[in-house]
């Protein structure tokens, strides 16, 4: 969710129509209408909140799950509309804030309504990092390599993102667990405060560098079809006002629906005798779904810089924004919270970061790097499920 604020598809389609004479031949861009699905899904989610019961039926769980996923996608869509209107750097913060609220609310809702699993935030954050570094990045490199052979990107920007991501991941998920002779089961208040502080400082510094000081490091170099859709007409004030309301409605719906579904999800995982860490993978997959689709589409269009901005930006926001929120909530409520990874997870994290650094070391990628990252994803899923 970084650097390039992506115009929603409806804006791009509307732009194309205006260029071909769709606006009475005047050549002026017109503001697109908000898609109907992005209007009724948040409203439906709000309408389902009073219907929550302690023991929902299977049909109710399925319907609520579908509405929840739709509200997540709608929230990102309306965040993009607002971001396109306000421009950079505020547009980036709108998108990052919307996704962070979704992820943090899902975690907090499940901790409040479920079994208060102290490992859930760690499992979710670690799952998001692994899914992005190996699944999303691997998929983008493989798809782009198959279609275009070799793809290029701005090396300085990707290296900067990887530098911050490696520092935050190790300081938050590794260091507190190995800093003592006998690692504690739960983080102490001092450790939680430290992780929240370093995450905020590193992420804030990166945002400043990316949006103000060295913005050119993160801009595409004119490859692919960027020029064809980089100038979509800004939405009207009426459209933005509607998107602000619908964004809030989407986020509220996500929070309450996640709280209602937390119990059935954990019960289903326990009934299937599956590791509880899979719940974190499910949450991370849900949160990353909209941005993953956008990143894969950009790679297919030979816009690898955009794909990497989206992927690595999502990973940075996962730690830099979600961890401080969860840490503050845990300190305020007295929850036990553990963010330290076990040795197996530390190995996978170090391997993933090392491979990413090598993959992006030359500024060019092929299908080989994509295949390696996808194998690492398979290894992560296998070790988690067994």
Query: 3-state DSSP call for residue 216?
Result: helix
Distance CA 9, CA 246 (A): 18
Where do runs of H (alpha helix) occur along the chain?
9-19, 37-48, 58-86, 90-113, 120-130, 137-148, 155-173, 175-178, 189-208, 226-229, 237-271, 277-300, 304-317, 323-333, 343-359, 367-385
Quote the pLDDT of residue 7. 46
- Nearby residues of 224 by Cβ (< 8 Å), 6 or more positions away: 298, 301, 302, 303
What is the spatial distance between Cα 17 and Cα 20, in angstroms, rounded to a whole number?
Answer: 5
Distances (CA, A) of 55 to 48, 51, 58, 265: 15, 11, 9, 12
DSSP codes of every residue in 64-106? HHHHHHHHHHHHHHHHHHHHHHH-TTHHHHHHHHHHHHHHHHH
Neighbour count for residue 237 (Cβ, 10 Å) = 10
Residue 279 vs residues 15, 25, 71, 127, 354: alpha-carbon distances, Å: 41, 53, 19, 10, 26
Residues 358, 365: Cα–Cα separation, whole Å: 10
Please report the pLDDT score of residue 86 as a whole number: 74
- The low-confidence residues of the chain, meaning pLDDT below 50, are 1-31, 182, 223-231
Given this model, what pLDDT does residue 82 score? 84
User: Contact 69/53 with Cβ under 8 angstroms?
Assistant: no
Phi (first) and psi of residue 23, to 5 degrees: -105, 60
pLDDT for 197 equals 93
Q: With contact defined as beta carbons under 8 Å apart, do 27 and 20 qualify?
A: no
CA atoms of 100 and 63, how far apart (whole Å)? 24
Residue 307 tokens read as: 């794909």
Distance of CA 31 to the CA centre of its chain: 27
Q: Cα separation of 28 and 22, whole Å?
A: 9
Phi, psi of 364, deg, nearest 5: -135, 145
In this structure, are residues 275 and 116 in contact, taking their beta carbons and an 8 Å threshold? no
pLDDT at 186: 77
Write down the pTM of the prediction: 0.79
Distance CA 173, CA 160 (A): 20
* Contact call for residues 270 and 116 (beta carbons, < 8 A): no
Q: Which residues contact 241 (CB under 8 A, 6 or more apart)?
A: none
Question: In the prediction, which pLDDT does 336 show?
Answer: 81
Question: Are the CB atoms for 302 and 224 separated by under 8 Å?
Answer: yes
What pLDDT is attached to residue 184? 55
Rounded CA separation 363/281 (Å): 30
């Amino acid at each position: 969710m970084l650097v390039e604020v992506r115009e929603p598809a409806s804006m791009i389609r509307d732009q194309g129509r205006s260029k071909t004479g769709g606006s009475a031949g005047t050549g002026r861009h017109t503001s697109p209408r908000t898609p109907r699905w992005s209007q009724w899904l948040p409203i439906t989610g709000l309408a389902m909140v009073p219907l929550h019961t302690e023991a929902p039926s299977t049909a109710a769980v399925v319907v609520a799950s579908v509405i929840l996923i739709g509200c997540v996608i709608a929230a990102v869509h309306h965040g993009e509309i607002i971001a396109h209107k306000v421009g950079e750097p505020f547009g980036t913060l709108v998108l990052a804030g919307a996704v962070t609220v979704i992820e943090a609310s899902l975690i907090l809702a499940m901790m409040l309504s479920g079994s208060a699993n102290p490992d859930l935030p760690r499992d979710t954050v670690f799952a998001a990092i692994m899914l992005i570094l190996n699944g999303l990045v691997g998929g983008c490199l493989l798809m782009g390599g198959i279609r275009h052979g070799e793809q290029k990107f701005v090396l300085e920007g990707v290296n900067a993102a990887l530098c911050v991501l490696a520092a935050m991941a190790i300081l938050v998920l590794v260091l507190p667990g190995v800093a003592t002779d006998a690692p504690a089961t739960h983080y102490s208040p001092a450790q939680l405060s430290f992780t929240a502080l370093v995450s905020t400082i590193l992420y804030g510094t990166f945002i400043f560098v990316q949006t103000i000081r060295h913005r050119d490091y993160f801009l595409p170099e004119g490859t692919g079809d960027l020029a064809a859709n980089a100038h979509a007409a800004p939405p009207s004030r009426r459209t933005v006002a509607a998107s602000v309301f619908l964004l809030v409605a989407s986020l509220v719906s996500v929070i309450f629906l996640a709280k209602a579904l937390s119990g059935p999800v954990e019960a289903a995982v326990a009934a299937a005798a599956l590791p509880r860490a899979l719940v974190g993978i499910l949450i991370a997959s849900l949160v990353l779904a909209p941005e993953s689709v956008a990143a894969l589409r950009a790679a297919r269009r030979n816009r690898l810089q955009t794909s990497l901005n989206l992927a690595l930006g999502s990973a940075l926001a996962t730690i830099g924004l979600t961890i401080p929120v969860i840490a503050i909530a845990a300190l305020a409520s007295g929850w036990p919270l553990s963010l330290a990874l076990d040795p197996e997870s530390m190995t996978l994290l170090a391997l993933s970061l090392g491979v990413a650094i090598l993959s992006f070391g030359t500024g060019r990628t092929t299908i080989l790097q994509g295949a390696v990252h996808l194998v690492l994803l398979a290894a992560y899923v296998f070790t988690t499920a067994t």
